[in-house]
Amino acid sequence: MFAEYHGWIVESQTHADPQSGRFFMRQETLAESLPFGINKLRQQFEPLAQQFDMKYTITDSSVLKRVVILVSKQTHCLDDLLYRWRSGEMSFDLKAVISNHEDARGFVDWHRVPFHHVPMSADSQETGFRQIERIIDQTGAETLVLARFMRILPAWLCEKFPARILNIHHSFLPSFAGSNPYRQAHERGVKYVGATCHYATEKLDEGPIIEQDAFRTNHTDTVEELICAGRDIEKAVLARGLRFHLEDRVLLNSNKTVVFD
């Protein structure tokens, strides 16, 4: 169909999954190369999609995704994303930063991004998450980024944003799920330590993996040194995962991802 209209296909990727028999495709077309706009495109595409029984999304890359970042005391991932956002390296509409601590306020303020402090003690979790939901709703955000947010999201919140909440876990999943992964890795004596960006689901640390990476370690590294070195890999993995998500490169295949990078 694009060939018919001589559309300039910037990128096109497909994947045929022999197990599920499903076929995945992503196509990026130069808007100016088509003789009509995105609404006409949607109209023309719909019958084709029905004919081949496709599930599809057509997005306009000039419309930025609305993002809310959640963070706790560790701000390295937030700071990294703020740099990429303000420098224009990554394009998204940053609606707000929410935290259960005050640490990040100063730096977020400097960026003129709304900062919301939502205190969450052990017995105010549910209240806190309801407040977080209201803030997100007010911003109209459709993507949440858990940039080292150290609270477990309730199932109802995960379900409200399916495949739209990105979490960074500080281990090479499925190794060392749960708390204190760097301590676990140190105790096991592994030779590489990693990080995982995945979609948050109600099952903690078990959502579809978007991106991972690891760095070499050895006997000389203490837990503290792993934590420190780990920050760099967490930043890199979350940034790459988020970029894939923002550019609509991530497609779900059951509990796995197809990433057209």
| Residue closest to 212 by CA, chosen among 163, 260, 245, 174 | 174
Q: Which is nearer to a second copy, 40 or 191 (CB)?
A: 191
Q: Nearest approach, Cβ of 138 to a second copy (angstroms)?
A: 28
> Which one of 17, 137, 205, 221 is the catalytic residue?
205
Annotation says 93 is catalytic: no
Q: Which is nearer to a second copy, 145 or 208 (CB)?
A: 208
What is the SS3 assignment for 153? coil
Q: Which is nearer to a second copy, 50 or 121 (CB)?
A: 50
CB distance 178 to 205 below 8 Å? yes
Query: What region does 115 belong to: left with phi over 0, alpha with psi -120 to 50, or beta?
Result: beta
Q: Nearest approach, Cβ of 249 to a second copy (angstroms)?
A: 11
Distance of CA 135 to the CA centre of its chain: 19
Q: Nearest approach, Cβ of 90 to a second copy (angstroms)?
A: 10
Q: Report CA-CA distances (Å) from 74 to 77, 82, 211.
A: 8, 14, 21
Q: Nearest approach, Cβ of 246 to a second copy (angstroms)?
A: 14
What would the DSSP string read from start to end of 34-45? SSS-HHHHHHHH
Q: Which is nearer to a second copy, 41 or 194 (CB)?
A: 194
| Residues 137, 143, 148, 153, CA torsion sign | positive
Q: List residues near a second copy by CB under 8 A.
A: 8-18, 23, 75-76, 79-80, 83, 87, 89, 110, 172-176, 188-192, 194, 208-214, 218-220, 222, 228, 231-232, 236, 239, 253, 255-259, 261
Give the catalytic positions in this structure: 205
